[in-house]
Amino acid sequence: MLKSFSLTGLIAAPHTPFHEDGSLNLDMVPLQADHLVSQGVQGVFVAGTTGESQSMALEERLALVEAWSRAIKARLALVVHVGSNSNGDASYLAKHARDCGAQAIAACSPSFFKPLGPDILVEFHKPIADAVPGLPFYHYHIPSFTGSNGQIGAFLRSASEKIPNLAGVKFSHTDLADLLDCMTLEGGKFDILFGCDEMLLGALALGIKGAVGSTYNIAPKIYQDMIEAFNRGDLAQARALQLRSVRLVQLMNEFGGLAGGKALMGQLGIECGPVRAPLVPLAREQVQALREKFLLQKPLASFENGKAPAVVQSR
C-alpha cells in the first residue's frame, strides 16, 4: 500500500519546445525550469496536454523527460505523464520516468478504443502502475480530449484496492460534484489535483490544495495572490484575480489555445516554437496581435514590480 503522498501548490504543465521545423528544441528546457523556479511554482507536469505528448514519438518523450530531469536539479517536483493508447508504451515510459527521478507519474484514459466503464479503465491502468511499484500513480482525467466522461469517483472506488500505488487524480474537468466526491472518498485518502486554471477558485472553496495548469507557466502570481486572498477570507479580491485568469485563458483560446500559450512564452523570452499538426501554428502577425492584446489586458502581477516586458517582435 502506498504511503500518503500529495502534491501541493501550483504545478506548471510546461510546453514542449520545438524548432520551427517541428523538431525538439531541448535547449529551451533549462530556461523553462529556471523561469518556473524564479516564479515560485512547486513542480512540473511534463508531457501532458500542454506538452503535446500525443503528437510526439516515444523516443522524443523519453528525451524530453531526460532533459527536464537534468534541468530541474531537484528544485521542482517532477511529475511525468506517461499516458498512451498502448499501455505497453505507457509502462515503458513509466519505468523510464522512475529511472529519471520522477516523484510521480500520471496516465490519461486511452482515447481511440475507450474503456466502457470504471472497472475497464482500472484494468487498463493497472499494468502501467504495476510497472513502477511504490511510485505514486495518478489518473489524468481530461474528458474534453479523451472522450471518456465517466464519474471518476466510481473509478477511484474500483481502483482503490487494485492499484496499490494509486495516489489520486489530476482532475481537468468542470464537474465539481464529482470533484468533491473524489476528494472525500475514504476520508480524503486520494490526492486530487485540479486542472482547470480558470475555475481554480471554485476548487479552492471545495478544499483543493494542489493544481496543475498551463497558465502557471505564464502568470503564476495571479494564482498565488488569489490563493493568499482566499486563505485570508478576501473573496472579492480572490474573485477579481480569478477574473484575470479567465480573461487570460479567453485570450489564449482566441489564438488557438496551445498555440497562443506558446506565443506568450516567447513574450517572456522563452521561445517554445510552433505547435505540431494537427494543431495550427500562428502566423507572425497573429503572434504580434496576441502579444499586444496580452499587454493591454495587463494580467501580469507575475513580473517584478508589475512591469511586463516589451512586446517581442516575432521572427
Catalytic residue set: 140, 170
Among residues 156, 212, 159, 168, which one has the least CA distance to residue 192?
168
Listing DSSP states for 259-295 in one string gives: HHHHHHHHHTT----PPPTTS-PPPHHHHHHHHHHHH
Q: Does residue 245 contact residue 197 with C-beta atoms inside 8 Å?
A: yes
Query: Reduced to 3 states, what is the DSSP secondary structure of residue 140?
Result: strand
- d(C-alpha 47, C-alpha 100), whole Å: 14
Helices (H), 100-175: 118-130, 143-146, 152-159
Backbone angles phi, psi at 212, to 5 degrees: -120, 130
44-58 CB burial, b ≥16 within 10 A, e <16: bbbbbbbbbbbebee
